[in-house]
A and B are shown apart, each in its own frame.
Chain A
Amino acid sequence: MATVPTTIPIYPAAKAGHTSFEYLTSKKDELVGWARKFSLFPYPFVTACCAMEFMAVSSTPYDTDRFGAALPRFSPRQSDLLMVVGTVTHKQAPILLKVYEQMCEPKWVMAFGACATSGGFYQNYAAVAGIDKIIPVDIYVPGCPPRPETVIDAIMQLQARIAGDRHPILTDKF
């Protein structure tokens, strides 16, 4: 099982002659990564039973506000973390894709619960067997529904990943 990384090598072996630029971009990436990870605006795409645990994780005593991920933004234009909470059926799939496509970069997707991850035990004509058939997913949270601590663990792992990512803001390289 992967451990939460504390230092992530941002670039592979340095190319000769580019050291000061890479230092600049790595510091910029750390700063932007720190800012982005602690100000996640989730879009709770809530469908089913996992909503109960989503409500619980947003309130006391499990509060996601401690992690900066409490304020939901119900407009895809204003949010960056798409939390797909609950089963996505084939009828709902176009709506999920539309919402995902309307979100601006950078965006992350959390598959909250067994149904979003793999379809859960609804392997039939109606449910999509995992939302990664439709949109790319960054973190999968197992559980039916997951305990609030599992969700918080997932948010922390996602934050560690965001912290270690490249964050090009002006050009492809910077």
Chain B
Amino acid sequence: MTARPALDALANPILPAFGPADVDGNVVVSIGPSHPATHGTIQMIAALDGERVKRVDVHCGYLHRGFEKECEAHTWHNLIPFVDRLNYCSPLINDFAYCEAVEKLMGVEMTPRTKYLRTLLSEYSRLCDHLTCIAASLMELGAMTPFLYLVMVRDYMYEHIAALTGARVTHSYGRIGGLARDLPAGWLTRLSEILTQYEEFVGRVHGLMDRNRIFIDRMRDVGVISTADAIDLGITGPILRSTGSPRDLRKDTPYLAYAELDFDVPVGIKGDNYDRYYVRMREMDESVYMIRQLMEMLPEGPINVDDRRCTFPEKTLVYTEIESLINHFKLVMDGPAVPAGEVYFAHEAPNGELGFYLVSDGSGTPYKVHVRSPSFVHMGGVARMLEGYQLADIIPTFGSVNMIGGECDR
């Protein structure tokens, strides 16, 4: 083994905005990037006056995996696993947002069954994401029981989705033009069972947390942000809704099957941590309500649009006809030929507006893919929610912002 490196000689990957000399004798503390309670790798350099945070400098990028550069080197189909790993708590929403953006650029319209199934699975994925966010932020406050309850329900959902997609976490289930496979037998029955179990466990978490004196003291009036500030900072999603502004892409500019569903958009009153927690809890209930409506509405039919530009032909045809063989070969090797142009399309992800800006030069490989990730934009705004509060408030505020590293750093 090589000689042990001196720890002082290790390069510092960041340049902090301020150092001990700039902050009038306040203590400068580096929180992260390997920290038990930050969700993922974030470094916050905080100047503290006793317990009060005077100034904070947020550094992300410790999980920058070069997603956008990889996009330029793979075909449109090959990117679906990469896209999954952006917001890895709700991978199906990323899949469907990306696939729908490519479909818009290609001019392909999805089949009715796919439209409803994608809506159902988006809401299911939203449940998984909110469960993870709330479970983790409650655990960081010290409430271990809700964490175990919610992670157990989430585990049932993971196993259930694995029965459909093949993977528990990063599913890669969306396809350009449809979905990978149809629902297996008995899937919807199990879904109703899981939703009933969810309601029982979430009821217990409500009972434990909602009127808990300690919880209210720690979360009420902490991490407050106003609507005007939030809009100026580009904040969308549950954080904006917690300030009182009912902006939700599913209601304002409906996509997929949301126009036909009956649901409310929960809003908060003060824009603090408690409101963000409660908005997420209520959004989960609304998602369950939407899933139940969608289970009734699901039409029969094919899930992949019958368009040879993006959908693989039947395997029996591939093995017998030369045209299907060549079609299959071209789709796999070159990728679907997306006409030259650009599109920006956004879905309402659990964190906010997740947008894909795609630029195509007519070939099967993208020219550019840019992800408008809500977590990255929120990182620009989180300093506003942290300054002026105490050191111990950094963790719950940061947890309620739900920064997902894969999405923030891409």
Touching chains A and B, CB distance < 8 Å: yes
Q: List chain A positions with a Cβ less than 8 A from chain B.
A: 44-49, 51-53, 55-56, 59-61, 72, 74, 86-87, 89-92, 94-99, 101-102, 121-122, 124-127, 136, 144-145, 147
| Majority secondary structure of chain A interface residues (helix, strand, loop or mixed) | loop
Contacts of A92 in B (CB 8 A): 13, 33, 41, 62-63
B181 on the A face (CB < 8 A):
no
Q: How far, in angstroms, from A74 to B139 measured CA to CA in the complex?
A: 15
- CB-based contact B170/A49 at 8 Å: yes
Task: Find out whether the CB atom of B62 lies under 8 angstroms from the CB atom of A49.
Answer: no
Query: Which residues in A have their C-beta under 8 angstroms from that of B381?
Result: none
Determine the chain B residues whose CB is within 8 A of the CB of A55 once the complex forms: 132, 135-136, 151
Q: Which 10 A-B pairs have the closest CB atoms?
A: A49-B88, A126-B66, A124-B66, A74-B36, A94-B10, A59-B151, A91-B13, A92-B62, A122-B65, A52-B169
Question: In the complex, how many angstroms separate the beta carbon of B45 from the nearest chain A beta carbon?
Answer: 14
Picked from B65, B155, B170, the residue with its CB within 8 Å of the CB of A56 is: B155
Does B380 count as interface, using CB distance less than 8 angstroms? no
- By the criterion CB–CB under 8 Å, are B155 and A125 in contact? no
Closest to A97 in B: B10
Contact between chains at A101 and B5 (CB < 8 Å):
yes
Minimum C-beta distance from B66 to chain A (A):
4
Q: Is A101 in contact with B4, judged by CB distance below 8 angstroms? A: yes
B322 at the interface (CB under 8 A from A): no
Q: How far is the CB of A121 from chain B (nearest CB, A)?
A: 7
Which residues of chain B are within 8 angstroms of A94 by Cβ–Cβ distance?
A: 10-13
- A52 close to B40 (CB less than 8 A): no
- CB A53 to nearest CB in B, in angstroms, measures 6
Contact of B66 with A46 in the complex, beta carbons under 8 Å = no
- Flag B25-51 by CB within 8 Å of A: 1 or 0 each: 000000001111000110000000000
Asked, given contacts A47-B405, A49-B169, whether A74 binds B35 with beta carbons under 8 Å apart, the answer is yes
Q: Using known A-B contacts A49-B170, A59-B155, A121-B82, determine if residue A95 contacts B66 with beta carbons closer than 8 Å.
A: no
Query: How many chain B residues have a CB neighbour from A under 8 Å?
Result: 43
In the complex the two chains form, is A127's CB within 8 Å of B65's CB? yes
* Extra 20 A-B pairs, beta carbons < 8 Å, given A94-B12, A101-B7: A47-B41, A47-B63, A48-B405, A49-B88, A55-B135, A56-B154, A59-B148, A60-B152, A74-B35, A87-B63, A87-B65, A89-B62, A89-B63, A89-B65, A91-B13, A92-B41, A95-B62, A98-B7, A124-B70, A147-B168
Contacting residue for B406 out of A48, A61, A127, CB 8 A? A48
Number of A-B contacts (CB under 8 A): 112
Could you mark each residue 1-26 of chain B with 1 if its beta carbon is under 8 Å from any beta carbon of chain A, else 0?
A: 10011010011111000000000000
The distance in angstroms between the C-alpha atoms of A90 and B81, with both chains bound, is: 22
Query: B170 near A126 (CB under 8 angstroms)?
Result: no
Residues of A within 8 A of B12 (CB): 94
Interchain nearest-CB distance for B73 vs A (Å)? 8
In the complex, what residue of chain B is closest to A125 when comparing beta carbons?
A: B66
Report B392 CB to chain A, min CB distance, Å.
16
Shortest CB distance B77–A (Å): 14
Query: Which of A48, A94, A101 has the most CB atoms of chain B within a 10 A radius of its CB?
Result: A48
Asked if B5 contacts A97 (CB within 8 A), the reply is: yes
B130-141 CB mask vs A (1 if < 8 Å, else 0) is: 001001100000
- B61 CB to closest chain A CB (Å) equals 6
B13 near A145 with CB under 8 A, answer no
| Binary contact track B158-191/A, C-beta < 8 Å → 1, others 0 | 1000000000111000000000000000000000
| Contact between chains at B41 and A59 (CB < 8 Å) | no
| Closest beta carbon of chain A to B222's beta carbon, Å | 23
Docked pose: A53 CA to B280 CA in angstroms? 22
User: In the complex, what distance in Å separates the CA atom of A56 from the CA atom of B136?
Assistant: 12
Q: Does B85 have its Cβ within 8 Å of any Cβ on chain A?
A: yes
Q: Nearest chain-B residue to A123 (Cβ)?
A: B70
Residues of B with C-beta under 8 A to A101: 4-5, 7
Q: Knowing A48-B406, A121-B81, say if A126 contacts B65 (CB, 8 Å).
A: yes
Query: Are B65 and A144 in contact, with the CB atoms below 8 A?
Result: no
**How many angstroms from the CA of A134 to the CA of B62 in the assembled complex?**
16
Find out whether the CB atom of B85 lies under 8 angstroms from the CB atom of A91.
Answer: no
Q: Which residue of A lies closest to B87 (CB)?
A: A49
Query: What distance in Å separates the Cβ of A63 from its nearest Cβ neighbour in chain B?
Result: 10
Asked whether B356 is an interface residue with its Cβ less than 8 Å from the other chain, the reply is no
Within 8 Å of chain A (Cβ to Cβ): is B64?
yes
B358 on interface, CB distance cutoff 8 Å: no
For the complex, is B69 an interface residue (Cβ under 8 Å from A)? yes
Within 8 A of A (CB), among B396-410: 405-406
Q: Could you tell me if A91 and B62 are in contact, using CB atoms closer than 8 angstroms?
A: yes
Asked if B89 lies at the interface with its beta carbon under 8 angstroms from chain A, I say yes
Structural contact, A48 and B88, CB atoms closer than 8 A: yes
Q: Once the chains are docked, how many angstroms separate the CA of A97 from the CA of B9? A: 11
A52 with B33: CB separation less than 8 A: no
How far is it, in angstroms, between the C-alpha of A52 and the C-alpha of B36 when the chains are bound? 14
Query: B169 contacts A53, CB within 8 Å?
Result: yes
Q: Which residues of A contact B158 (CB under 8 A)?
A: 56
Q: Kindly state the separation between the CA atoms of A55 and B406 in the bound complex, as whole angstroms.
A: 16
